[in-house]
Structure 1
Amino acid sequence: MEGDTTRICKIATFNLNQWAMDFEHNKANIIESIKQAEKEGASIRFGPELEIPGYSCEDHFLEMDTTNHSWEVLAEIIEEGYTDNIICDIGIPVYHKTFLYNCKVVVYKRQIHLLRPKIQLCFEQNYRETRYFQAWTNIKRVEDFTLPKVITNITGQKKTKIGVAIVKLNDTEYAHEICQEMYEPSNPAAELYLDGAEIICNSSGSHHHLRKLNKRLQLITTSTHKSGGVYVYSNQQGCDGSRLYYDGSSMIAMNGQVIKQGSQFSIKNLEGVYAVVNLDDVRNYRREIRNKSLRDPDEPEFPRIEIDYNLCQHDFLDLTEPQGEIRIHKPMEEISLGPALWLWDYLRRSGARGYFLPLSGGLDSASVATIVGSMCHLVFSAIHDDNDEQVLEDLRNITRQDDFTPESPKDVAAQVLNCCYMGTKNSSEETLKRAKALSEDIGFKFYNVEIDDLFDVTKTLFHNLTGKEPKFEAHGGTYNEDLALQNIQARQRMVMSYLMAQLMPWVNEQNGFLLVLGSANLDEGLRGYMTKYDCSSADINPIGGINKSDLRSFIAYAKDHFEYSSLQDILEANPSAELRPIDDKTKDSTQIDEEEMGMTYDELNQFGRLRKIHKCGPVSMFKELLLIWKHLTPEEVATKVKRFFFYYSVNRHKATTLTPAYHAEDYGTDDNRFDHRQFLYNTSWDYQFKRIDKLVKHYTEKKKEV
């Protein structure tokens, strides 16, 4: 490894848009990434976690087929010669002895040199890795692994090593972290760096949620700042079949600085990130911090896997300078990009010819329409600015038009989005105007229909059945009658939405079907402020993981960014379901969301974060909010907390039927994957509320003494 030649190497890492269980697609992406890395002159190629089967296979990992197919794809890649001239790190599931491991495989010259299993598994929030995989516990030890016949038949190699080791090349040493390991308090990188590794590659399947990239950047730069070294991060990008959007951001950092950063959001199937680094700079950096780099001489070393290969194949390439300002999107930009690209992947892979959205003229459905509008801008830009043939081919497949080439984002919207305003006599003229104006700004197909006939027919059927006719409270009815009549309207909109989604292509003499988009925000899901099986029920929901405050910021941003001037009126309007009779004099809705909920959206945001992220029950939430809401008395705080937990628990059953939604917040309410709590509660919370009452009395008396 010593010598007079400067150790300059070119490294390639990739964002890959993989699709769970689509082995042909995933193989094609991996091969193309290797070809691009070689073309760019890179001497090593890194890819994301579990890139062969796709990360979100979930219970498919319990099937032997998934592992077998992964080996078959790897064998094909090796047999076709793609790893003959470049070291490739590829993600794959591996059975060893009686357990399944999440592994990186090091391949070069038709030989598998190492299977590196994941040490620390992710089993929190959206992840259930311990359900499928075993964590590798034999740190600093490798074992023999008998390769499957499909590999042996091609390579002649019967065995390789499995375990945590450092790969020793002729001119440097490198090692691995896999996704979650980077986030752990005792992450492996520090010890691997101290034991001589100069490059650490981290292969991830890390999803996007708002404001997350900052944390990732901090961990990567801190790791190399403390120990010196190169850190290569690779991630999946796109919707691979689940509620998550993997947000790329592959990057290369060195000695505490990011020198190359990939995009966080991209419509491309793959994106390479390349950097030319001088590994002698790592040694020089470590000499400056040698007092921090001392190892216990009795500490056992990591095993070495030797490969006869020179990573540093260049003497005079221009080094990649530190990037300088790191690109971190603001939250409203993240909402504009992440959900839009998630919708694009979902649309192009679902077989649908577009989306259908019940458009109310309110902020939530307008946010969904605007996100689709953002998707149309991204698609148009990829086709016209980047000449992306894959995106154009996907759009033509969606529209069933082999010669379609859009001339503007509105051309795209007119093909992929259908919206319908479904008014009743309880709807105001203003909401219709707002919905129609938005359709003109974005360019989607807009329909307007009154559903009073459906409403009246349903009431008549009920009257014929029971002899009774329900009335709104404003007309002398009871609360239960009023609520039932509201729900009739809401549920009929859902039925009408699915009817139109199935038949509007037929009406327009087109083939295919439309996917129905939901538009219930995160806070409404938390409080249960929605009708079960109304317009909140849909095929997918791009805003189900986004709170109302962030949606407002997004709409304000989109108004200027996309020049959708109609969004200004939507921003200024009071949120209303418009399911009760309007005021005869003002012609405005008598139903204001925050008044009806008994809490503001900002308060719901606070309740949600304390309940989920801070793990607060009623009593601990009361204590926390006493410190936060100093403008309120203990009695007022207690009332708000009790109100929240009553409505949360009485409506919790609705979470079991929430539409699959884009995950964007750590206090999401997705009952199926993320937020595991019962849905049948004693809604009086007797014990907890009594404890709060005692605390209120205690704090009130203390305050009087002061």
Structure 2
Amino acid sequence: MGRKVTLATCSLNQWALDFEGNLERILKSIEIAKAHGAKYRLGPELEIWPIMHHNVRYNCRVLFLNRKILLIRPKMVMANHGNYRELRWFSPWNQLRLRLSVFIPLFVCVHQVTVPFGDCVLSTKDTCIGTEICEELWNPRSPHIQMGLEGVEIFTNSSASHHELRKADQRVNLIKSATTKSGGIYLYANQRGCDGDRVYYDGCAMVVINGDIVAQGAQFSLNDVVCTDMERAGSEKAYLQIRLYSHLREPKPCHRVKVDFSFSSGDDIFLPTHQPITWHFHTPEEEIRYQPTFHFAGFLLPLSGGVDSSSTACIVHSMCTLLCQAVKDGNGQVLEDVRRVVGDDSYHPQHPGELCARIFTTCYMASENSSEDTCSRARELANQIGSTHMNINIDMAVKGILGIFSVVTGRWPQFRANGGSHRENLALQNVQARVRMVLAYLFAQLSLWARGKPGGLLVLGSANVDESLTGYFTKYDCSSADINPIGGISKEDLKSFLLYCVEQFQLPALRSILSAPPTAELEPLTDGQVSQTDEADMGMTYTELSVIGRLRKISKCGPFSMFCKLIHMWKDALSPTEVAQKVKHFFRMYSMNRHKMTTVTPSYHAESYSPDDNRFDLRPFLYNTRWTWQFRCIDQVAIGQQLPFHFILNTCQWREARLSVQMKCTRV
């Protein structure tokens, strides 16, 4: 291909079952692409419909030209891991290089009866176009590899790839590599927004030529339709083809559907040379800032003055900042949404703090165990972000509940500091936490009513991903909410996010919040000061917990294999015995509290090591918490004993044990 072509790719905010809205956004993106002179417009995955063939449902890409369907290309590799269970809905097309002719469904109004269906490419007068669909790009045998060997020059990918912190570079590197070796143009389209589940699609459309990025769409945007177009030439393709060898091709070539159409015109004498651009990667702190927003009458957040709840508050403040900027830039849809949420058709937001006061209510729920420091930190942050803030004392409610218990049993439980047992101490902490949840929902439903305003508030939670790993929260406490914006984010990333917010939003109150040790403040104070800390309760630091979480989920480690890895990773800081204690403590807590994941508040998925609720993390939620075999194996290695040969051979974890012995440089 040695002539100029104009192509367009887009990111659309498509919602499941929103048929009219989805159609409107598709048509709008087509109009934008045509206005820019594009001869080809690429949209995200499943923007139209699935296809039934022989009573089997396929996820397909449908290619049109002038009211005619040229090709239906079914998806060949399903995403069926982590957050995805695509095999619930679709079957993969596993007949490579096969082209069928199928009848078009009756409800599709086109003047044709059949259409090509299968693993095909489009061949025009001046070029050849191949299609990949989302997961196929990530597969070791991506279709673009063989298509490139067979002369395909334009590769397109319709995707629904969810956002995770630090994931954008994986997409960019995969797409760059797709055309670095064989040449050509790669168009990538992605969904944008939330389709009603826990993942968020971040757009990130792009165009790559011969390994160079030449166009980048917005990764995060409040616009429902984002189009990225380019006008470049693919003249370098012929040069790169020299590297290809015919013997690498499949025995059966890819079927070409011939189309009487040209992407370029005959008078394109002067060919523009593509100009590479540098991809702008968002920092993790920016990605947390730009995470999904939700449309309700407003939000209520129990603000404790700690890192977690302060992070949730800053995310809401950031949302208000983005909304105000979008309105200032003339985004009519955002203005309409804001007016609907605040219930005022004439409202025009001027400042993030002023908008925050209208839609965001924070409350500090104090008890006799709360310190003045946390109360003042919460109040100061609320003042700086502009939320409507309340101070609520829960002691009366707690004593009322304990009074009921005392009347029935004749006993009054005591904190450990006052001579009580561990069971009493834990129960007294939990009743405070659960009272806060009840009050949060009460004020969410009635606080606007008390102010003479319509509507209710959405309760926001603030339990980070690390606490969920060990179950370090009370079931049905104020971590139980309608939405938990930080449920997929680690404590370390939240700290970095707050540092970013100090400078980005001018919120100096966050400095004192960051310097204070994390605490639940559920046990009695000592001389007016906090004596309880989260890390002491958990038996490990948040940094250690993040490492353990990644080994558990991403590396799929059980107790023994995790211990084997950590004695090397932490050898400069901890002895094997200390590592063993931490690993065993984690797995005891994890298995004891795994049942909490069945009721965990829905959260935006941001980390690949997120514990998730039991719909997405398909491990059991009822465990034998003793882990007898694994812990015995850990103890034997930690104290320097050699594992018996028959013991290793007769276990299902032979590989883990063998690795452990090799690490100790011993023979069995």
* TM-score (normalizing by structure 1): 0.89
Check conservation: 2:209, 2:234, Cα contact below 8 A: no
1-structure distance, mates of 2:591, 2:31: 55
Q: Give the match for residue 77 of structure 1.
A: none
Is 1:199 aligned with 2:154? yes
Choose from 190, 193, 200 the match for 2:145. Answer: 190
Is 1:276 aligned with 2:253? no
2-structure distance, mates of 1:413, 1:317: 54
Check conservation: 2:149, 2:244, Cα contact below 8 A: no
Check conservation: 2:3, 2:271, Cα contact below 8 A: no
Q: Give the match for residue 540 of structure 2.
A: 599
What is the alpha-carbon root mean square deviation over aligned residues? 1.8
Q: Give the match for residue 448 of structure 2.
A: 505
SS for the counterpart of 1:491 is: helix
Deviations 1:278-336 (A, max 9, x none): 133322343xxx13343457722211112222212473798474343211111111111
2-structure distance, mates of 1:433, 1:292: 68
Q: Give the match for residue 397 of structure 1.
A: 340
TM-superposed CA distance for 1:580, in Å, is: 0.7
TM-superposed CA distance for 1:414, in Å, is: 1.3
2-structure distance, mates of 1:207, 1:255: 26
Amino acid at match of 1:400: G
Check conservation: 1:259, 1:320, Cα contact below 8 A: no
Q: Aligned pairs, how many?
A: 646
Q: Give the match for residue 289 of structure 2.
A: 336
TM-superposed CA distance for 1:514, in Å, is: 1.0
TM-superposed CA distance for 1:697, in Å, is: 3.3
Distance 1:364 1:228, change over 3 A: same
Choose from 255, 264, 271 the match for 1:303. Answer: 255
1-structure distance, mates of 2:243, 2:575: 55
Check conservation: 1:276, 1:320, Cα contact below 8 A: no
Choose from 289, 311, 320 the match for 1:367. Answer: 311
2-structure distance, mates of 1:596, 1:298: 60
Is 1:624 aligned with 2:565? yes
2-structure distance, mates of 1:320, 1:531: 61
2-structure distance, mates of 1:418, 1:660: 20
Deviations 1:597-629 (A, max 9, x none): 111111111111111111111111111111111
Is 1:122 aligned with 2:113? no
Check conservation: 1:17, 1:238, Cα contact below 8 A: yes
Q: Give the match for residue 643 of structure 1.
A: 585
Check conservation: 1:204, 1:234, Cα contact below 8 A: yes
Check conservation: 1:103, 1:118, Cα contact below 8 A: yes
Is 1:677 aligned with 2:619? yes
Q: Give the match for residue 176 of structure 2.
A: 221
SS for the counterpart of 2:563 is: helix
Choose from 84, 94, 101 the match for 1:137. Answer: 94
Choose from 301, 318, 324 the match for 1:357. Answer: 301
SS for the counterpart of 1:34 is: helix
2-structure distance, mates of 1:324, 1:310: 28
Is 1:482 aligned with 2:428? no
Q: Give the match for residue 247 of structure 1.
A: 202
Deviations 1:491-511 (A, max 9, x none): 010000111111112112222
2-structure distance, mates of 1:327, 1:316: 33
Distance 1:44 1:382, change over 3 A: same
Is 1:103 aligned with 2:56? no
2-structure distance, mates of 1:297, 1:354: 58
SS for the counterpart of 2:117 is: strand
Deviations 1:505-540 (A, max 9, x none): 211222211111110000000011000000110011
Amino acid at match of 1:250: A
Distance 1:298 1:452, change over 3 A: closer
SS for the counterpart of 2:70 is: strand
Q: Which moved more, 1:607-616 or 1:691-700?
A: 691-700
Check conservation: 1:261, 1:323, Cα contact below 8 A: no
2-structure distance, mates of 1:315, 1:647: 68
Check conservation: 2:233, 2:273, Cα contact below 8 A: no
Is 1:315 aligned with 2:268? yes
SS for the counterpart of 1:324 is: coil
Choose from 525, 529, 540 the match for 1:582. Answer: 525
Q: Give the match for residue 262 of structure 1.
A: 217
Distance 1:318 1:431, change over 3 A: farther
Check conservation: 1:145, 1:159, Cα contact below 8 A: yes
Q: Which moved more, 1:257-266 or 1:295-304?
A: 295-304
Q: Give the match for residue 87 of structure 1.
A: none
SS for the counterpart of 2:639 is: helix
Is 1:560 aligned with 2:512? no
1-structure distance, mates of 2:322, 2:80: 34
Amino acid at match of 1:502: Q
Is 1:382 aligned with 2:326? yes
SS for the counterpart of 2:52 is: strand
Amino acid at match of 2:14: Q
Give ranges in structure 1 of 5+ residues lacking alignment. 53-91
Check conservation: 1:519, 1:544, Cα contact below 8 A: yes
Amino acid at match of 1:257: D
TM-superposed CA distance for 1:549, in Å, is: 0.6
Is 1:22 aligned with 2:13? no
Amino acid at match of 2:264: C
Distance 1:403 1:149, change over 3 A: same
Check conservation: 1:227, 1:293, Cα contact below 8 A: no
2-structure distance, mates of 1:448, 1:377: 25
Deviations 1:620-648 (A, max 9, x none): 11111111111322211111111111111
2-structure distance, mates of 1:362, 1:184: 42
Check conservation: 1:275, 1:320, Cα contact below 8 A: no
SS for the counterpart of 2:59 is: strand
Check conservation: 1:209, 1:663, Cα contact below 8 A: yes
Aligned counterparts, 1:280-299, within 5 A = 280-286=235-241, 290-296=242-248, 299=251
Aligned counterparts, 1:151-166, within 5 A = 151=108, 154-166=109-121
Q: Specify which structure has the higher proportion of helix.
A: 1
Q: Give the match for residue 418 of structure 1.
A: 361
Identity level (%): 45
Check conservation: 2:480, 2:601, Cα contact below 8 A: yes
Is 1:325 aligned with 2:278? yes
Give ranges in structure 2 of 5+ residues lacking alignment. 644-660
